[in-house]
Amino acid sequence: MTAPSEPSGPSGPSPSAPHAPVAAPQVLRTALLLLPLQIVLRGGEALLPLLLAAWFGRSEATDAYMLLGALYTFLGSIVVAAFQDSVLIPVVTELRLKRPDELGPVVRGLFGATLVSTLAASAVASLLGLGHALFATTGARSRLELAMIVPLALLVIAMGCRAFLVGLANAHQRYALHPAASGLGMGLTLLGLSRTSSLGIAVLPWWLVAGEGTAVAVLFVAVSRTTGLTLRPALVASPEVRRFLRMVASEAGGSAVTRINPVVDQAFAAATGFVGGGTLLRYTFDIAGLPLTVLQATVFPILVGAFAHRVTVHGAQTLGPMVLRALAATTAFVAALAGLLHLFREPILALAFGHGEMDTAGLARMAEILPYALAGAVPFGCLLVLARAHVSLQNARIMFPLGVLNAAANLALNAVLVRPLGLEGLALSTSLVQLLLALAFAALLVRRLREERR
């Protein structure tokens, strides 16, 4: 069995043509083949927070962007979660393998649902952002937030479209398309920021939406050519589309309450009264998340497709050993990198952020926060593997109650820990919530697999 490869011709086979058996993606081999591409083309995403710290430092203006950006990212990520690494992949995989003639109409219906969802999320985010800019702030900060609303609204729409196209590409084992498109888009963003950073952080959302729009355009052309699908959105409520929307409603609901956590964390950070506290917390989480960023860029997109293929071809009862191997590999990899980040956190933070506008006191504070954030790295890695296993089983109904548990636990722990520990307490709260959620996902997966074996 060989790793999936990109077709060399200008277009893939027609969805209605007879299909040869589709080989299961080999996770490790495919990830290693993609690694050089990921490093070169997606490295800009890892560099972005470092460059933002150098260009803009920490100030009330950066806190304004972090809070408003968290709000828009929160609503945009709900749509992203609904289409990328979501039940979209097992649904499309099942159609590809078992009912290829139905794939084209379903994809058009799903594209239409994507556009409606992104427009709704963008509108809600804009209303909330406008309300905050007009009634919760004054002076220069209010004007800054008002200037960022339009580009951030466009960014949400672009995020949703990209998520749908990435999910569709990954369901067809076209894993190289995402890093290639994202790399081109991020390259444009970084180039633009390097030329205009002196104008202030208000230019950041415009360059983000320019990069995201570039990624969407590249993905649209590449996915349509390599899959042979006609990517024309349609508001068609076919049975498969309705089934997908029912599943994704619970998944999106869980994502909604879960992804409010960064907004809540920023609000608690602002309440500490530490100038730039929200900015430092965000940058610290970026560093703590590096081990997971590597896996999310290389292994996890393939993992969803591999799980879905296993369930579709061999049955859900065979999924357990594959999940255990993924958990063991993830734990070993994340623990090793998290340990290195903890041991060498001061030189790493100095190398990453100790230049430009970032001050020495800010670096020292980040070094104090980082161990608390790293405590949740392994649980979060296991959580992501387990969540993808549930997605492959189309077990979306658990996502909303787990999302409620996530948000409630984060709020409660923030309130308890912020007073005695400050910013460190907010980081520890996130780590404890990740452990709690990983245990809950594991217990529910064991129960589901036992049911499948009966």
> pLDDT 10s digit of each residue in the chain, 454 long?
333 333 333 334 444 344 444 555 566 666 666 666 666 666 677 778 778 888 888 788 888 888 888 788 877 877 787 777 777 888 888 888 888 888 888 888 889 888 888 899 899 989 998 998 888 888 888 999 999 999 999 999 999 999 999 989 988 888 888 888 988 999 999 999 999 988 889 999 999 999 999 999 999 999 999 888 888 888 877 777 777 777 776 666 665 555 667 778 877 887 777 767 778 888 888 889 888 887 876 777 788 778 888 888 888 888 889 999 999 999 999 999 999 999 999 998 888 887 766 778 888 888 999 999 999 999 999 998 998 898 888 887 787 788 888 889 999 999 999 888 988 999 999 999 999 999 999 999 999 888 877 7
In this prediction, residue 35 carries a pLDDT of: 65
Query: Phi and psi for 390 in degrees, rounded to 5?
Result: -65, -40
Q: Residue 10, Cβ neighbours under 10 Å: how many? A: 7
**Which pLDDT belongs to residue 82?**
76
Predicted local distance difference test score (pLDDT) of residue 171: 84
| Size of the chain, expressed as the number of residues it contains | 454
With b for 16 or more beta-carbon neighbours within 10 A and e for fewer, the 417-450 pattern comes to bbeeebbbbbbbbbbbbbbbbbebbbebbeebbe
Rounded CA separation 285/81 (Å): 20
The sign of the CA dihedral 73, 386, 5, 11 is negative
This prediction has a pTM of 0.66
Q: What is the pLDDT of residue 258?
A: 59
Check residue 75 and give left, alpha or beta (phi > 0: left; psi -120 to 50: alpha). alpha
Q: State whether residue 421 is helix, strand or coil.
A: helix
Is residue 183 within 8 A of residue 234, CB to CB? The reply is no
